[in-house]
Amino acid sequence: MRLPAMALAAVVVGAAAVPAAWGQERAPAPATAPVAGPIIQMFQWPWDSIASECTDFLGPKGFGAVQVSPPQEHIVLPEAGHPWYQDYQPISYQLETRRGNREQFANMVKTCNDAGVQVYVDAVVNHMAGSDGDHPGSAGSEFTKYDYPGTYSDADFHDCRRDIAHYEDKWEVRNCELVGLADLKTESDWVRQSEINYLNDLISLGVSGFRVDGVKHMPPEDVGAIFGGLDEVPGTGQKPYVFQEVIADSTTTAGEYTGNGDVTEFAYQGKVSDAFKNGSLAQLANLGDSMTLPGGQAVVFVDNHDTQRSSPTLTYKDGTAYDLAVAFELAHPYGTPQLISSFAFDDTEAGPPAEADGTTKPASCDDPAWVCEQRHPIIAGMAGFHGAVAGTGLTDWWDNGGGQIAFGRQDKGFAVINREGGELSRTFQTSLPAGSYCDVMSGEVVNGSCTGQTVEVADDGTFTATVAPNSGLALHAGAALG
């Protein structure tokens, strides 16, 4: 039995009223462009810690947006050690999680926005929790599978009621259950409006965008109908930026969903990871040609929380090779770059550092339990590089046929990466204006001086430098000296 609209509005504070014309299809809103700075996934970071990092580091360094872990009430699994994936099993749309409550979430959004960093939410709308509630949810809600009081009841779920067995069958992928998770009828007006209410509640708090989880398990028209009901972000006159997680295969292509917004390009992490693991960077010369999406529709990453745990990929555990791959991602023009700030793990199911009750401990980059990839020296200055070269194309490519490459971003930037065991010494041709530049892979500009290496670009656009083994160099217009 469905709840009346007033009851749902009481659960989702500030949500929009259910429209009178339930049967009308909404067209997806025109896609809003991503921010100029890169997106960083603050995986499992508590709300208070994200607020501090926005103010202290991410804003000043030029990061454009934080992607935060799902903020809705989730299942609690103490017997499994409070694994990371419990957050991807919703119980209700109340903003109460192990990372903080509604007030803390709202404060984080405001603080990050004030620091010039937008907030994108990892939104789970394909399913609800996949097991009976042996324990109340993170907001205290009692539930059983297919019955989540105040949110959904049995009639709101697909009838398949078994795991997906044949991924070559598109109907099964979209109607059966992903690892036992209760699969929502996203074709239902009631379900769609419930999800729209949840997302609009987040928008009312200042959220500027969404990464939508598990999109291949929903038809494009269902996703588009949900997006079509979203409000404008307060004070912007624009709909939120949305990008969709689609792990493409022979049955489902990323291109099926581009009419709704940007899509994750999973081929990127495989191609770039392979190049940096094997030292074969020259193969990246025509990177865009080997992708499945145009760069303007793709969100790219070296790793995310899933690939860290399930796919052959580079991660923070690979040290400098990983840092250089992320620097490449931020320097190259293909796609909208997404980074991750991780917690350290050995067990792929482990949750973040936690108190005895399962709530997440504050994240601190002084604590080795939090990896803080964004603060690695090679990566830290590259967010500013990405912002400085926005809108420019790839120029002045050079490679040695192996693990040494260099390339420009027209007259705004130039990067060199040496993934080999010997020094790289040569004169590089750029399109940069003559002048002195701070190498942002080795330092930053402070009070008009460079804390790292200074590079002199001649009138003809050339400079000569020696790049150490397994390191890089990056110059951009925003780091010009004098």
Say which residue the tokens 């150490």 belong to: 468
Pick the last residue of a domain from 388, 409, 436: 388
Helix axes 266-278, 320-331, angle to 10 degrees: 130
Give Cα separations from 65 to 41, 119, 187, 217 (angstroms). Answer: 9, 5, 31, 26
79 lies in the same domain as 209: yes
Same domain, 293 and 366: yes
User: Do 381 and 428 share a domain, yes or no?
Assistant: no
CATH for 55: 3.20.20.80
Statement to judge: residues 292 and 357 lie in one domain:
yes
Write down the pLDDT at residue 397.
Answer: 99
CA-CA-CA-CA torsion sign (472, 427, 275, 423): negative
Task: Kindly state the tokens that stand for 288.
Answer: 């865009």
The residue range of the domain holding 428 is 395-481
Q: Do both 276 and 401 map to the same domain?
A: no
Q: Which of 213, 231, 367, 420 is catalytic?
A: 213
> Which pTM was predicted?
0.93
Asked if 98 and 354 count as a contact pair (C-beta separation under 8 A), the reply is: yes
470 and 368 within one domain: no
* pLDDT recorded at residue 34: 80
Let me know whether 378 and 432 are in one domain: no
Q: Last residue of a domain, which of 388, 421, 439?
A: 388
The CATH number of whichever domain residue 437 belongs to comes to 2.60.40.1180
Please check whether residues 350 and 204 belong to one and the same domain: yes
Task: Judge contact between 301 and 268, C-beta under 8 A.
Answer: yes
Q: What angle do CA 475, 479, 482 make, to 5 degrees?
A: 120
Regarding whether 169 and 106 lie in a shared domain, the answer is yes
User: Are 47 and 163 found together in one domain?
Assistant: yes
Q: Choose the catalytic residue: 245, 265, 329, 373.
A: 245
Is there a single domain that holds both residue 384 and residue 401? no
Choosing from 369, 388, 407, the residue where a domain stops is 388
Q: Is 213 marked active-site?
A: yes
Q: What is the mean pLDDT of each run of 10 residues along the chain (482 residues)?
A: 30 32 40 82 99 98 98 97 98 99 99 98 98 89 96 98 97 98 98 99 98 98 98 96 96 96 96 95 96 97 96 91 99 98 97 97 98 98 97 98 99 99 98 98 96 98 98 98 86
Closest CA relative to residue 330, chosen from 272, 395, 283, 249: 272
Whether 69 and 377 have beta carbons less than 8 Å apart is answered as no
pLDDT score for 131: 86
State the pLDDT at residue 458. Answer: 98
Residues 351, 416, single domain; the answer is no
> How many Cβ atoms sit within 10 Å of the Cβ of residue 398?
15
Of the candidates 42, 38, 39, 50, the residue with the CA atom closest to the CA atom of residue 343: 42
Domains identified in the chain, total number: 2
What is the amino acid identity at position 335? G
